[in-house]
Amino acid sequence: MSRPKPQPGITNIALYKSGESGIPGVSDVLKLSANESPYGPSEKAKDAFSKTVANLHRYPATDHAGLRAAIAEVHGLDAARIICGVGSDEVLQFITQCYAGPGDEAIYTEHGFSMYPILTHAAGATPVCVAESGRQVDVDKVLAAITGKTRIVFITNPGNPTGTMLEAAELARLARGVPENVLLVLDGAYAEFADGFDGGAALVEAHDNVLMTRTFSKAYGLGGLRIGWGYGPQAIIDVLNRVRQPFNLSPTQLATAEAAVRDRDWLDKVVGNNTRNRAWLVNALRDAGVECDDSHANFVLARFASEDEAAGCDAALRKDGIIVRRVGGYGFPEGLRITVGDESACRRVVHAIVQHKGTL
């Protein structure tokens, strides 16, 4: 029998697994599995959101001029070279759709974001996974993996779920080493949490083949609203805009994101709290005998002695109503990724882990 056939690559896609959000029968759930902000969005963003109710019958602007201008002003960028999407996921989708196809390869790293292979398969291209070294992106290994078929290199910095970072000199060496015909994508979903990091903006300015993606989902506390953006060379942004639906972002998304990016006081507060709580969490986990790298993001990767121990700890946390993220699919069967919550959330999760370890 003949049936409609999907395009090549589509059936290779392993469905994305998101962090769980509930535990059956438990009401007081602490969700630390999806790197969401414990503080939510700023009051100014919420006000802007509410005000859009009056205009929901209107189509949104197709050029996102207001939001792009706000992002450009705050970050010191050229507004003409910003593109906005339904989360940075959509910007990543534009990139793979436009720059990779059957016969092409896209590189991502061992512990990299699972959306990269999903989007690469969706474009009919082949994802190529490159080993990291000690939970860090290894520039030499990435450069060595580039072939004549490579079209895109995806790097998450800071990394998820590792929380580690490529230092500036290494990142610059990578950008210099990637051939001019290959697009280097710097995914800065957690850039706000990394002290003094521009997300790769300066490298975008310096190279004609480097693009940065950013999101409102993490530090801005707007994961539910789906807004992200990219910054790149004009020629590449012009290409991406050809496949972008003209009305991809609603008036609500646009107005809320604009207010959010302009509220620097709120962002500073969120980032400051994260930095403080993250340091406390890392130290407390180490004190409890759990291995943990320094993190530059809003989560930490707790590494246990074995997969069994991680699974046992995860089960014990669930019993206490705490959801963290198993990260076996990211190459860490012995790991649990824990979002940095507010102070009481950090205490609660550490308390539960210490209690559990006491029973072993």
Ligand X SMILES: *Cc1c(COP(=O)(O)O)cnc(C)c1O
Q: Which residues bind ligand X (CB under 6 A)?
A: 87-89, 113, 156, 160, 187, 189, 215, 217-218, 223, 228
Q: Please, are residues 39 and 273 in contact by the beta-carbon 8 Å criterion?
A: yes
Q: Which is nearer to ligand X, 162 or 209 (CB)?
A: 162
Residue type for 306, please?
S
Q: How far is the CB of 351 from ligand X (least distance, A)?
A: 27
Q: How far is the CB of 319 from ligand X (least distance, A)?
A: 27
Q: Which is nearer to ligand X, 33 or 160 (CB)?
A: 160
Q: How far is the CB of 223 from ligand X (least distance, A)?
A: 6
Q: How far is the CB of 264 from ligand X (least distance, A)?
A: 20
Q: How far is the CB of 88 from ligand X (least distance, A)?
A: 4
CA 323 to chain centre: 19
Give me the residue whose beta carbon is nearest to ligand X. 87
Q: Give, as one character, the DSSP assignment of residue 182.
A: S
Evaluate the CA torsion angle 239, 240, 242, 246 in order and state its sign: negative
Q: Which is nearer to ligand X, 87 or 221 (CB)?
A: 87
Q: How far is the CB of 239 from ligand X (least distance, A)?
A: 20
Beta-bridge partners for 161: none
Q: Please, are residues 141 and 133 in contact by the beta-carbon 8 Å criterion?
A: yes
DSSP string for residues in 230-289: EE--HHHHHHHHHHS-TT-S-HHHHHHHHHHHH-HHHHHHHHHHHHHHHHHHHHHHHHTT
Between β-strands 325-327 and 332-339, what pairing exists: parallel, antiparallel or unpaired? antiparallel
Q: Which of 161, 125, 130, 127 is nearest to 143 (CA)?
A: 130
Q: What CA–CA distance (Å, rounded) separates 107 from 175? A: 14
Q: What is the dihedral of CA 158, 163, 167, 173, to 10 degrees?
A: -60
Q: Which of 198, 196, 206 is nearest to 174 (CA)?
A: 206
DSSP string for residues in 83-101: EEESHHHHHHHHHHHHH--
Q: Which of 264, 236, 254, 205 is nearest to 78 (CA)?
A: 205
Q: What CA–CA distance (Å, rounded) separates 36 from 33? A: 8
Q: Which is nearer to ligand X, 150 or 217 (CB)?
A: 217
Cβ count near 237 (within 10 Å)? 19
Q: Please, are residues 266 and 76 in contact by the beta-carbon 8 Å criterion?
A: no
Q: How far is the CB of 112 from ligand X (least distance, A)?
A: 8
Q: How far is the CB of 271 from ligand X (least distance, A)?
A: 16
Q: Which is nearer to ligand X, 74 or 144 (CB)?
A: 74
Q: How far is the CB of 167 from ligand X (least distance, A)?
A: 19
